[in-house]
């Protein structure tokens, strides 16, 4: 066959039903964990004034933007991340909400990067933030949600770990060693790349601050350098029974300039130590975005859909949990109505309508077909039951498709009977 005329753009995904089901599994899990931890959902626009992103990040993402001029001559950008919009929304609306705000968003973001395994030009992101609470209790509450999310996906202790640090610990270290405040961002950027940079280049860059690699490594290695905020978070998580999931790792400072205090990343501990999620405190961003109109401390994290999905698929127990969910949700319907006698189609149509109205997922063939073929369609649909409407109407037959067990019932009581049947232990396939 010839290549299709049009294809999805490079780095953009077509979510055919099987892929969309995986997406829904991630979204449903994210949403339900966030809600049971007391977060409420919001959504910011996908397209924003480009200035918002430039102001927030100081241009860090500016080479990766889907940026263009709209028909009204505005400089606009498909959101590369959500936090800038959140700061804008909160600055405008915060006076209407009791503090702290615990908000989450599940949405798509766009970055013009080289597409590769585990990275596209669009991705879905779970964003969770607490605004209006400056103390470490908020960071602990936030990190506990990151942990609960991993547990909800079926991961267990040993599968992952939260590595946390505190930029304030680094700022203390740098100040003690004579680094000027104005150079702090540059210094933190060097620390951020410490694991990736070649030793000679690193040594040279540190030398500009009269520091050595050994000094920096020694600082990272000494647990006594844990900040008071880190210790408070660790104690809080320990009280929750989550102490085993957090580790001090001072090598983490996070790339973006807007972080101000505790920062953390959730790591896959078995494989390549990939970061599954990351975040931290950004106490000055709301003031920056609102030009000082609103000053609100904040802490937040984001988890993208690419890495978490790969990690689920590579981890047997998490993969099995997803598989069970997908199987339950892959069916197109619970009840497939077989029209064994085409003259009874009107009755079959009424029955399907009544079933659906009662909340039962039901379907039927749209054209005349042999009964055997209809049963094939029923199997393919993933339905649990076939309900046969034939010459004996109003007597109906119900077949359990897995066991071929058969029962009879009358059309007048079919809806109640099936609703009942679907409430039995193995339940409906579709939520």
- From CA 215, how far away is CA 307, in angstroms rounded? 34
Among the listed ranges 107-115, 196-204, 301-309, 394-402, the one in contact with its own copies (CB under 8 A) is: 107-115
Count Cβ atoms below 10 Å from residue 411 Cβ, excluding itself.
18
Residue 242 interacts with its own copies (CB under 8 A)? yes
Q: How far is CA 177 from CA 184, 229, 263, in A?
A: 12, 22, 22
| Residue from 135, 255, 390, 394 in contact with its own copies (CB under 8 A) | 135
- From CA 295, how far away is CA 286, in angstroms rounded? 6
Residue 333 interacts with its own copies (CB under 8 A)? yes
Count Cβ atoms below 10 Å from residue 202 Cβ, excluding itself.
19
Residue 62 interacts with its own copies (CB under 8 A)? no
Q: Least distance (Å) from its own copies to the CB of residue 128? A: 14
Residue 372 interacts with its own copies (CB under 8 A)? no
Residue 116 interacts with its own copies (CB under 8 A)? no
- From CA 128, how far away is CA 102, in angstroms rounded? 8
Beta bridge partners of 110: 122
Residue 16 interacts with its own copies (CB under 8 A)? yes
Residue 258 interacts with its own copies (CB under 8 A)? no
Q: Which residues, numbered 86-105, are part of the site for its own copies (CB under 8 A)?
A: 88-89, 91-93, 98, 100, 102-103
- From CA 10, how far away is CA 1, in angstroms rounded? 21
| Residue from 73, 199, 367, 425 in contact with its own copies (CB under 8 A) | 367
Q: Which residues, numbered 151-170, are part of the site for its own copies (CB under 8 A)?
A: 151
Residue 48 interacts with its own copies (CB under 8 A)? yes
Q: Of 102, 83, 60, whose CA–CA distance to 284 is shortest?
A: 83
Residue 363 interacts with its own copies (CB under 8 A)? yes
Q: Which residues, numbered 263-292, are part of the site for its own copies (CB under 8 A)?
A: 289-291
Residue 41 interacts with its own copies (CB under 8 A)? yes
Residue 374 interacts with its own copies (CB under 8 A)? no
Residue 387 interacts with its own copies (CB under 8 A)? no
Residue 46 interacts with its own copies (CB under 8 A)? yes
Q: Which residues, numbered 211-240, are part of the site for its own copies (CB under 8 A)?
A: 236, 239-240
State the SS3 of 291-306: CCCCCCCEEEEEEEHH
Antiparallel, parallel or unpaired: β 385-389 and 335-339: parallel
Q: Least distance (Å) from its own copies to the CB of residue 18? A: 9
Q: How far is CA 191 from CA 195, 199, 204, 216, 220, in A?
A: 8, 12, 13, 8, 10
């Amino acid at each position: 066959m010839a290549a299709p005329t049009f294809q999805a753009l490079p780095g953009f995904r077509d979510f055919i039903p099987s892929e969309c089901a995986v997406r829904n599994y991630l979204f449903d899990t994210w949403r339900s964990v966030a809600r049971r931890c007391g977060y409420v959902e919001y959504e910011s626009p996908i397209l924003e004034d480009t200035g918002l992103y430039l102001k927030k990040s100081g241009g860090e993402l500016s080479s990766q933007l889907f940026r263009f001029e709209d028909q009204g001559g505005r400089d606009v950008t498909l959101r590369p991340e959500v936090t800038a919009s959140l700061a804008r929304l909160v600055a405008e609306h915060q006076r209407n909400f009791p503090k702290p705000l615990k908000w989450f968003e599940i949405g798509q973001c766009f970055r013009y990067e080289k597409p590769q395994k585990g990275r596209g030009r669009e991705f879905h992101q779970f964003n969770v933030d607490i605004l209006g609470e400056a103390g470490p209790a908020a960071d602990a509450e936030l990190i506990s949600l990151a942990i609960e999310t991993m547990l909800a996906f079926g991961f267990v202790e040993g599968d992952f770990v939260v590595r946390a640090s505190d930029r304030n610990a680094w700022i203390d270290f740098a100040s003690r060693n004579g680094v000027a405040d104005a150079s702090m961002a540059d210094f933190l950027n060097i620390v951020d790349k410490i694991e990736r940079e070649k030793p000679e280049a690193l040594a040279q860059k540190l030398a500009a601050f009269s520091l050595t690699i050994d000094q920096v490594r020694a600082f990272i290695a000494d647990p006594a350098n844990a900040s008071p905020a880190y210790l408070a978070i660790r104690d809080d998580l320990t009280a929750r029974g989550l102490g085993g999931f957090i580790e001090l790792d001072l090598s983490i400072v996070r790339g973006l300039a807007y972080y101000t205090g505790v920062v953390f990343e959730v790591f896959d501990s078995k494989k390549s130590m990939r970061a599954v999620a990351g975040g931290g405190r950004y106490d000055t961003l709301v003031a920056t975005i609102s030009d000082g109109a609103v000053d609100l401390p904040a802490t937040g994290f984001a988890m993208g859909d690419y890495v978490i999905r790969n990690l689920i698929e590579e981890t047997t127990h998490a993969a099995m949990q997803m598989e069970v969910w997908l199987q339950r949700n892959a069916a197109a319907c619970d009840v497939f109505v077989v029209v064994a006698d085409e003259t009874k189609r009107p009755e079959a149509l009424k029955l399907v309508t009544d079933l659906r109205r009662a909340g039962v997922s039901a379907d039927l063939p749209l054209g005349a077909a042999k009964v055997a073929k209809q049963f094939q369609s029923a199997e393919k649909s993933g339905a649990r039951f076939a309900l046969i409407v034939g010459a004996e109407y109003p007597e109906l037959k119900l077949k359990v498709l897995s066991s071929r067990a058969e029962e009879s019932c009358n059309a007048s009581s079919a809806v109640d009977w099936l609703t009942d049947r679907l409430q039995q232990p193995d339940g409906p396939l579709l939520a």
